[in-house]
Structure 1
């Protein structure tokens, strides 16, 4: 037995053979473009002039109030405060001085009592390792703060008062109405506007240049249209389209397919059936749309835009949009998509016949 073990070389240290060809080479780290092109400094933040101006003044004086950023998704709320924090603290102190919590995951009173309170009570120095001055306070970023429970928001108010010497808070939310009044009164409020089409186009073209993408003008216009002011969504769709068409040109058709948007010809065809067709033909058209896998909520959203822009009377438009609200509620409750869309289209057909 001993001879067998000795022959097998048990106990001998294995020799390091080194890298085995090109497979052992380190591959470049792949990062989603949303993170890759996130603003690194406050000056790179697009379209939010008021917020940028206030933050730049605060950075010069190294003082900051408690902040409340609100507005639609993908407009740069989180990116702005992260860029400001990086400029304040530098790369080395950033991790020690900034606590970022996503309040949709951690939104109970226990988190405020433990994580937030403990971090807020720590005191910090007013200099950086590189010798530059930095503020003697930390920053706590609460993303999606409108998801926090009312007791957690009330507990946060007290912490905000007590630790004002050592900590600044930045609350980020989509709906300011869901933040309690005592918190909003303690913060400087900034509304982030949906990005203008021109700004979105500039940023998307810049990314296309850096990634050496082939694209058409129509594809960029389609990206701006389907993203509805949400730059994050636009950049994600662009990356998907780039991966789908590796060496080919990115077209508006590819963007529409990736975004799950119903082609405008189909929406026009549905409306024409409602205005001039029969109920039997309407049934077939609606069934085909639903069977093709288009989401009823997406059809509803695009129908709403078309109805508002149509030549119907204001009274008819109000009746149809009221029905749309009912259908939207039923869909969110899990009702059958085909029946709900047929119900809506029959109302559109009825109002069109009467006018």
Structure 2
């Protein structure tokens, strides 16, 4: 199937459709709204141009902003997600199924119907000021990107970092955007106090492929440049080569490691492709649109490292693929890091963030006693 043959595919978006899952008993629908259904039908018949999807943002006001987890295979127990949905449109994003809870599709809705939490900094300040609160690093970017395009105007991530800086609370950030460098003033200050570490994900060195995989992310060259700027500013950085997509992006592993090392990056890692719930059919659809000639090969390798399934949801093994292909990726990664002077395993640099400096922030103008 070529791109032009898919009635819903739009340039600049990752998913090819807006199918809604039936896991939660939702009525099955292909698209959103009668008007769009009608226009797509006309477009499919050649009687109308494709519908141009616009990004919409809905503000929501939750009671709390910190989310806690007990997952034994992730290195953090609390996180902040300033946004729901992500305009970056990464077709492989494992967070896509969360939109189904709102009767929205993990496909096009996830990247076009976004939610922002403008009260995030205020809620965080109130939480950190509670007498019984005990600090541990807060992870940002674990679900949706804290520096996606709408951060340019909302600046919620910036406000959260300001609260953390004031309270001397440690933070980790994961992003695919060079917009993170806009906050270098805060990040450099926090880094000097061992309060922050930043991971930037680079999936490929090919901007054309990146435009298909993650259409509204910063180009690979910009992400690498951001890594270099963070290094220069003294911010601990990690280059995440993730996800590794067999027969699509794995060929760039060595090149990314070499480029990152040349910029002074001394920490790197890789994560295999994960396809939970609705992400699997969305990714299969993407393969048929962009790489129909190798779709079968890609999914065959994916299943070979996931015990014969599209996805492995189990703790630990979901991050630790098995089989010949997985072993090959590990060996290639290890050799590339050794050649580039990047440590792996026990020799990998550890980002030890300091929780001992924490001091509850002011709330409502009330000054601290100490």
Superposed pair shares fold, TM > 0.5: no
TM-score range for the pair, normalised by the shorter chain length: under 0.3
Whose helix fraction is larger, Structure 1's or Structure 2's? 1
TM-score (norm 1): 0.27
TM-score (norm 2): 0.26
Whose strand fraction is larger, Structure 1's or Structure 2's? 2
